[in-house]
């Protein structure tokens, strides 16, 4: 059966997910849009996407798209879908959705209409007037934007960022999909050392190890679509076996290192890495990031330091960035910092070679990338003074006089 799919993504990750589908999934018909990626395929595509996509939030089957300005139009559009091909007589089919800038703005009312339309269609198909809803979960989702309705079936269940290894997290964990995206943006593939000196629950080094080892992120969890009767269990079994067979083991032990000042975070990171099956490749240690000696180190540094939003206050976070700049700014390491502080570069002391806007949940962040050799890394103030603010660079707003000097 030919199917259309939609993967919602965190804003900023659409292109990376599209590349995962093109290069990993070998799909040609991939379209990245704002906050989502669309593509077509079959049941095997659905399975592959769930098991292997590292940076998408979930996999939805897109069943219909139509104009709906009235409840009647919504009802008829939903009833026209061949639900009997997807939902068995005992299937559980809850409905959720959202509406934006549309005449049908009441989400609870739209939910009721969609449910009624599905029940009407399935009732006629199965000769039933009542559905026990005790069987496989087939989550229905609708989206109504500018009076256009789209109807989906959620194949994933829990979001794809839930890999199954992070039962516990520190106070401000990074979403796994975003951590994987950082590693992909840096094109780190396990050939050089990787350090995360602010590792928290270990998400970045764990995701990086999984990428280098070619461990499918969905290997350790299940998906709602695994119980769908129209996808043979054998297909899932084969795909899972192939994923296990593709795992590499030849990564140098201790190539990755995670550090945190908080011993509880270190213990948590070790526990999570064990659950992810990558603990023997990552050394976790309690260490103050600003007291490390970065001069002799080579490879890549990833950091998701405190932002002054959830952890630390703003001034302490900025003092930390200054200290980090003094410790690591002049080293040979390629460096990637994710923070929501728009003045990170000023405090860190060096202008990034490139910046990329990313969202950590709803929080707008920038990934500051330093990949030029140390000799070409220019101190932030010196560059400003010479008037070398490059194209696309953001002007740094003036701060209250004396506050941060
Ligand atoms: C935003 S959290 C990192 C979250 C992590 N990426 C994750 O997914 O769990 C920042 C971490 O930096 C740690 N930290 C704060 N100051 C530090 C320092 N001076 N040296 C090392 N770690 C520090 C905190 O304990 C916290 O775990």
pLDDT band with cut points at 50, 70 and 90 for residue 297: confident
User: Is residue 172 within 6 Å of ligand 1 at its C-beta?
Assistant: yes
198 C-beta closer than 6 A to ligand 1: yes
Task: List b or e across 138-150, with b for residues whose CB sees 16 or more CB atoms inside 10 angstroms.
Answer: bbbbbbbeebebb
Give pLDDT, residue 396. 35
∠ CA(357), CA(212), CA(156), 5° rounding?
A: 65
Give the residue whose CA is nearest to atom 27 of ligand 1: 200
Predicted confidence (pLDDT) per residue in 316-337, tens digit:
889 999 999 999 988 999 999 9
pLDDT tens-digit map of 13-50 = 999 999 999 999 999 999 999 999 999 999 999 999 99
pLDDT band at 374 (very low <50, low <70, confident <90, very high): confident
Q: Tell me if 177 sits within 8 A of 361, measured CB to CB.
A: no
Q: How many Å apart are CA 233 and CA 381, to the nearest integer?
A: 60
Mean of all residue pLDDT scores within the chain: 91
**To test ligand 1's pocket by mutation, which of 200, 205, 264, 267 has the most ligand atoms within 8 angstroms of CB?**
200
- Say if residue 397's pLDDT is above 70: no
| pTM of the predicted model over 0.75 | yes
Domains of the chain: 3-154 (3.30.2130.30), 176-215+228-386 (3.40.50.150)
Percent of the chain beyond pLDDT 90? 82
Decide: 338 in ligand 1 pocket, CB within 6 A: no
Q: Is the CB of 208 inside a 6 Å radius of any atom of ligand 1? A: no
**Would you list the DSSP string of 141-168?**
EEEEETTEEEEEEESSSS-TT--SS-SS
Structure confidence at residue 307 (pLDDT): 80
Residue 311 has pLDDT above 80, yes or no: no
* CA-nearest residue, atom 1 of ligand 1: 306
- Residue 388: pLDDT band with limits 50, 70, 90: very low
Q: In what order do the strands lie in the sheet with 60-67?
A: 30-33, 36-41, 3-8, 60-67, 148-154, 139-145, 95-100
CA dist list (Å): 97 to 130, 149, 371: 23, 10, 42
Across 99-103, 153-157, 346-350, 397-401, least confident range? 397-401
Of the residues 161, 170, 303, 322, which should be mutated to test ligand 1's pocket, given the most ligand atoms within 8 Å of the CB? 170
- pLDDT tier, 134 (very low <50, low <70, confident <90, very high otherwise): very high
Q: Is the CB of 200 under 6 A from ligand 1?
A: yes
Task: Report the phi/psi class of residue 270: left, alpha or beta, with left for phi > 0 and alpha for psi in -120 to 50.
Answer: alpha
List all residues 6 or more positions away from 291 whose beta carbon is below 8 Å from its beta carbon. Answer: 327
pLDDT tens per residue across span 234-266: 999 999 999 999 999 889 888 999 999 999 999
Question: In this structure, what token pair is assigned to residue 166?
Answer: 């992070």
Provide, rounded to the nearest whole percent, the portion of the chain with pLDDT above 70.
Answer: 92
Cβ of 206 closer than 6 Å to ligand 1, yes or no, is: no
Q: How far apart are the first and last CA of the chain?
A: 64
Q: Give the model confidence (pLDDT) of 213-238 as tens digits.
A: 999 999 999 999 999 999 999 999 99
Residue 312 has pLDDT above 50, yes or no: yes
Task: Give the position, in ligand 1's atom list, of the atom nearest the Cα of 289.
Answer: 20
Residue 197 Cα: closest atom of ligand 1: 21
């Amino acid at each position: 059966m030919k199917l259309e799919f939609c993967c919602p993504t965190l804003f900023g990750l659409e292109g990376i997910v599209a590349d995962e589908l093109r290069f990993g999934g070998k799909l040609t018909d991939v379209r990245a849009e704002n906050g989502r990626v669309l593509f077509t395929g079959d049941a095997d595509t659905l399975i592959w996407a769930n098991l292997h996509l590292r940076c998408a939030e979930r996999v939805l089957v897109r069943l219909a798209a139509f104009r709906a300005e009235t409840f009647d139009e919504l009802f008829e559009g939903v009833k026209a879908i061949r639900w009997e091909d997807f939902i068995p007589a005992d299937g559980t089919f809850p409905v959720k959705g959202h509406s934006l800038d549309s005449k049908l703005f009441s989400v609870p009312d739209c939910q009721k209409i969609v449910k009624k339309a599905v029940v009407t269609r399935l009732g006629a198909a199965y000769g039933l007037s009542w559905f026990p809803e005790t069987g496989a979960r087939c989550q229905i989702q609708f989206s109504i934007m500018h009076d256009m309705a789209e109807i989906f079936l959620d194949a994933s269940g829990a979001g794809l960022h839930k890999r199954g290894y992070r039962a516990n997290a520190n106070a401000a964990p990074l979403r796994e999909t975003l951590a994987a995206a950082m590693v992909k943006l840096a094109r780190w593939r396990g050939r050089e050392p990787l350090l995360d000196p602010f590792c928290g629950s270990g998400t970045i080094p764990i995701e990086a190890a999984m990428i280098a080892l070619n461990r499918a992120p969905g290997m350790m969890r299940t998906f709602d679509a695994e119980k769908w009767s129209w996808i043979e269990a054998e297909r899932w079994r084969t795909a899972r076996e192939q994923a296990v067979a593709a795992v590499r083991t030849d990564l140098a032990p201790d190539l990755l290192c995670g550090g945190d000042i908080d011993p509880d975070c270190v213990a948590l990171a070790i526990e999570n890495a064990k659950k992810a099956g990558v603990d023997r490749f990552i050394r976790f240690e309690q260490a103050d990031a600003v007291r490390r000696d970065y001069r002799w180190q080579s490879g890549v540094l990833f950091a998701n330091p405190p932002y002054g939003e959830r952890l630390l206050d703003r001034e302490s976070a900025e003092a930390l960035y200054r200290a980090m700049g003094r410790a690591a700014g002049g080293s040979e390491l390629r460096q990637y910092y994710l923070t929501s502080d728009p003045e990170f570069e000023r405090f860190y002391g060096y202008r990034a070679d490139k910046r990329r806007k990313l969202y950590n949940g709803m929080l707008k962040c920038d990934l500051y990338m330093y990949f030029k050799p140390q000799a070409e890394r220019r101190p932030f103030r010196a560059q400003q003074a010479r008037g070398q603010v490059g194209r696309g660079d953001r002007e740094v707003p003036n701060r209250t006089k004396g506050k941060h000097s």
